[in-house]
Amino acid sequence: MEPIQTSFKTPKSPPFQSQGARLWLRSNFFSSWFNTLITILLLYAIVTLGIFILEWAFVNAVWFGDSARSCPNSNGACWAFVTDRWRLFVYGLYPHELYWRVNIVYILASLTILSFLFSYGRTTKTFRLLMITIFPVAAYILLIGNYFGLKYVSPEDLGGLLLTLVIASISILGSIPLGLFLALGRMSKLTVISKLCMYFIEFWRGVPHIVIIVMFVALLPIFIPDGGKIDVVVRAFIAFIVFNSAYMAEVFRGGLQSIPRGQFEASRALGLSYWKMMGYIILPQAMRNSVPALVNTCISIFKETTIVMLIGFSDLLGIIQLSLESSDWVGPPHIFSSAYTFAALVYFIFTYGMSKYSERLENRSNVDL
Amino acid sequence: MAVDPIILFDCVNKWFGNFHVLRDIDLVVGKGERIVICGPSGSGKSTLIRCINRLEEHQTGKIIVEGLELNDDLKNIDSIRSEVGMVFQSFNLFPHMSVLENLVIGQHLVRRLPKKQAEEIAITYLERVKIADQADKFPGQLSGGQQQRVAIARSLCMKPKIMLFDEVTSALDPEMVKEVLDVMVDLAGEGMTMLVVTHEMGFARTVADRVIFMDEGQIVEENSPSAFFDNPASERAQNFIGQVLHHF
């Protein structure tokens, strides 16, 4: 028989695992002749590609110039196109003398975003709420004008990055609440409401966005009397909000269904009403679970704003295309590739930012639990 | 029999689809009575007590709680729910709130107490379940037994007239069962009306005024604990007790 243990063993630290750079390299890249071969091949590919990109984007690139003639070399990027036309890309067709109004909007937008990146202790929530309510109002007044003696600018003159950002933020901020209500409606016990929400979601999700946009812009005036009086831009916004809310609804439904039944029951047992239960108990948890899918949807909304080109608006991509067709810059295809590389970079910077922010949100929510 | 009924079941029936879970239930619970409900799994015990705060809706018959009949009138339901505390097998604490916030939320939103006052009440109840030192932690940081004590305190904060316990020790590690039962024994000593679904026969024997044995959706036997455990009248109860006590 084994003796009974009378003294406890003190905890020890795990065996020390110092590898050193050489050992690490060997175990990760050169552990067998086959892995060594792969490492060498990949290294060769990366270096070749890297050298090509460096040469194309920097060494052989032309940075300044005023027309296609400035970029005769097809083996280098033509950034001159971007530096020559950047105002158009950033401000669209907004009147030149009113650029300051757009600048204030850009600054306010940056401040609003910054307010979400830092914590201010107890006032954090209030401050963010303040920024997010003030910003849309201020942005509207500044961009469109007609108030406080500001000169009116037609929404149809918005363009470039400005238009892309305006459409993206309106679509995202508008489709989140609408999507939330659709998701709640779809999970309702009342069959009429849940079916109605379900078919609404299925319809807008099932029809190509291009069809919806064209429908709203071209056909709405025919179906609805006086529909033509609603501004084209507003109609486009409504279309974006409506079809994106269908995706948002499914995102939130996923989040809501991840909440265990016990949470609903415990809230009900305490006597909370439906809306209090949703607002204080269920949605805060559901939102947290929805963050990855929510950001995924926001990223695709941001990229999809480019379909406004179809109804005659010039967002960032649209205005780049227009500029490529202008008589100064029409020419060899390497200007095309530079222009689209630039567009890709701009879109990527914004979407990558969103994705990084969502990572932060996820990490933060893990701390609480 | 009870002089002052606080809960009354009159020929209550309920179905889950075609499955007849509650069959002609008649039950009267007096104020301050402590009732233990036991029976094999699937016998309808949990469904019975969940009908009292209408987490489950019955289809025929009458249920009267605190003089109010449970029906589709929503106003009734919310006020009854706030008078009836319920503790669940799986604790169901709100994971995104601290222990203290878990206790404050109901008082603040349903009883409309100011936060400050609600916090004071919360602390007194946390002290009673001996867990006040954990007030700022989140539920996920507590052991099962601690979580269940917080859940009991959360219900008690609402100053309920009736407490329902639905197999509250079944999900706990064995060494944590006692700390939860101790809290319930204390509560019983204070004259709270309690309906307890449990397999803790020791608890039933010492605390219950009455034991109700259910099987296949019916109340098979209603008896005093000593009579029920030592000398059960029905054959089904005899078998059940034999099986439950067997492994001790």
Q: What span, in angstroms and rounded, lies between the C-alpha atoms of A311 and A308?
A: 6
> pLDDT-derived band of residue A206, with 50, 70 and 90 as boundaries?
very high
Nearest of B243, B149, B144 to residue B201 by alpha carbon: B243
pLDDT tens column, A3-62: 777 788 888 888 776 667 888 888 888 888 998 999 999 999 999 999 999 998 888 888
Question: Is residue A369 scored above 50 in pLDDT?
Answer: no
pLDDT tens column, A161-182: 999 999 999 999 999 999 999 9
| Whether the Cβ atoms of residue B51 and residue B63 lie closer than 8 Å to each other | yes
Q: What span, in angstroms and rounded, lies between the C-alpha atoms of A248 and A179?
A: 5
Q: What span, in angstroms and rounded, lies between the C-alpha atoms of A115 and B167?
A: 47
Nearest of B131, B223, B235 to residue B182 by alpha carbon: B131
DSSP A282: I
Interface contact A284-B96, CB threshold 8 A: yes
Q: Phi, psi at residue A87, to the nearest 5°?
A: -60, -45
Chain A residues within an 8 Å CB radius of B86? 265-266, 269
Chain B residues within an 8 Å CB radius of A262? 88, 90-92
Cα within 13 Å of Cα(A308), Cβ side: 33
Nearest of B104, B8, B121 to residue B58 by alpha carbon: B8
Tally the residues of chain B.
248
Low-confidence ranges of chain B (pLDDT < 70): 1-3, 74, 246-248
Which amino acid appears at position A262 of this protein? G
Q: A369 and chain B: CB distance < 8 Å anywhere?
A: yes
Sign of CA dihedral A305, A310, A315, A320: positive
Q: Distance, in angstroms, between B221 CA and closest chain A CA?
A: 28
- Global ipTM: 0.93
Sign of CA dihedral B159, B163, B169, B171: negative
Question: Is residue A333 scored above 60 in pLDDT?
Answer: yes
Helix (H) or strand (E) holding B194: strand B193-197
Question: Is residue A297 scored above 60 in pLDDT?
Answer: yes
Interface contact A272-B110, CB threshold 8 A: yes
DSSP B112: -
Interface contact B105-A281, CB threshold 8 A: yes
Name the token pair of A360. 């932060």
Q: Which residues contact B84 (CB under 8 A, 6 or more apart)?
A: A269, B52, B53, B65, B160, B161, B162, B163, B164
Cα A316 from chain centroid (whole Å): 15
* Domain A154-363, classified CATH 1.10.3720.10, yes or no: yes
| Whether the Cβ atoms of residue B16 and residue B31 lie closer than 8 Å to each other | no
> Nearest residue of A to residue B136 by CA position?
A368
Distances in Å between the alpha carbon of B60 and those of A49, A212, B10, B23?
76, 50, 9, 10
> Nearest residue of A to residue B160 by CA position?
A270
Q: What span, in angstroms and rounded, lies between the C-alpha atoms of A76 and B115?
A: 66
Q: Phi, psi at residue A107, to the nearest 5°?
A: -65, -45
DSSP calls for B2-27? -SSEEEEEEEEEEEETTEEEEEEEEE
Question: Is residue A227 scored above 70 in pLDDT?
Answer: no
Interface contact A269-B90, CB threshold 8 A: no
Q: What span, in angstroms and rounded, lies between the C-alpha atoms of B66 and A157?
A: 67
Q: Which residues contact A153 (CB under 8 A, 6 or more apart)?
A: A94, A95, A98, A143, A144, A145
| Whether the Cβ atoms of residue B195 and residue B160 lie closer than 8 Å to each other | no
Interface contact B92-A265, CB threshold 8 A: yes
Chain B residues within an 8 Å CB radius of A260? 90, 92
Q: Which residues of B touch A (CB under 8 A)?
A: 53, 55, 78-79, 81-82, 84-86, 88, 90-96, 105-106, 109-110, 138, 140, 151, 154-155, 158
Interface contact A271-B55, CB threshold 8 A: no
Q: What span, in angstroms and rounded, lies between the C-alpha atoms of A214 and A207?
A: 12
Q: Which residues contact B140 (CB under 8 A, 6 or more apart)?
A: A369, B95
Chain B residues within an 8 Å CB radius of A279? none
Percent of chain A with pLDDT over 90: 44
Distances in Å between the alpha carbon of A102 and those of A167, A186, A196, A334, B245?
15, 40, 41, 32, 79
Q: Quick one: pLDDT at residue A67? A: 82
Interface contact B158-A270, CB threshold 8 A: yes
> Nearest residue of A to residue B139 by CA position?
A369
pLDDT tens column, A246-296: 999 999 999 999 999 999 999 999 999 999 999 999 999 998 889 889 999
Q: Distance, in angstroms, between B162 CA and closest chain A CA?
A: 12
Q: What span, in angstroms and rounded, lies between the C-alpha atoms of A308 and A216?
A: 12
Name the token pair of A112. 């609003």
Sign of CA dihedral B54, B58, B63, B68: positive
| Domain locations in chain A as residue ranges | 85-153, 154-363
Mean pLDDT in residue range A314-321: 90
Name the token pair of B39. 């029976």
Nearest of A301, A208, A213, A214 to residue A251 by alpha carbon: A301
Q: Quick one: pLDDT at residue B3? A: 59
Residue B26, Ramachandran bin (φ over 0: left; ψ between -120 and 50: alpha; else beta): beta
Q: What is the mean pLDDT of chain A?
A: 88
Candidates B82, B92, B138; nearest CB to A266: B92
Candidates A266, A271, A369; nearest CB to B82: A271
Cα A58 from chain centroid (whole Å): 29
Can you tell me whether residue A228 is helix, strand or coil? helix
DSSP calls for B124-181? HHHHHTT-GGGTTS-GGGS-HHHHHHHHHHHHHHT--SEEEEESTTTTS-HHHHHHHH
| Whether the Cβ atoms of residue A247 and residue A274 lie closer than 8 Å to each other | no
- Burial status of residue A79 (CB atoms within 10 A of its CB: 0-12, 13-18, 19 or more): buried
Cα within 13 Å of Cα(B114), Cβ side: 2
Least confident window among A124-128, A192-196, A246-250, B172-176:
A124-128
| Whether the Cβ atoms of residue B162 and residue B83 lie closer than 8 Å to each other | yes
Q: Within the 247-306 window of chain A, which residues sit less than 8 Å (CB to CB) from chain B? A: 260, 262-263, 265-273, 276, 280-281, 284-285, 288
Q: Distance, in angstroms, between B211 CA and closest chain A CA?
A: 24
Q: Quick one: pLDDT at residue A365? A: 56
Q: What span, in angstroms and rounded, lies between the C-alpha atoms of A333 and A329?
A: 11
Interface contact B105-A266, CB threshold 8 A: no
Nearest of B45, B52, B56, B55 to residue B28 by alpha carbon: B52
Q: Quick one: pLDDT at residue A220? A: 75
Interface contact A265-B88, CB threshold 8 A: yes
pTM listed for this prediction:
0.84
Stronger pLDDT, A81 or B244, i.e. the higher one: A81
Interface contact B106-A271, CB threshold 8 A: yes
DSSP B62: E
Interface contact B55-A281, CB threshold 8 A: no
> pLDDT-derived band of residue A120, with 50, 70 and 90 as boundaries?
confident
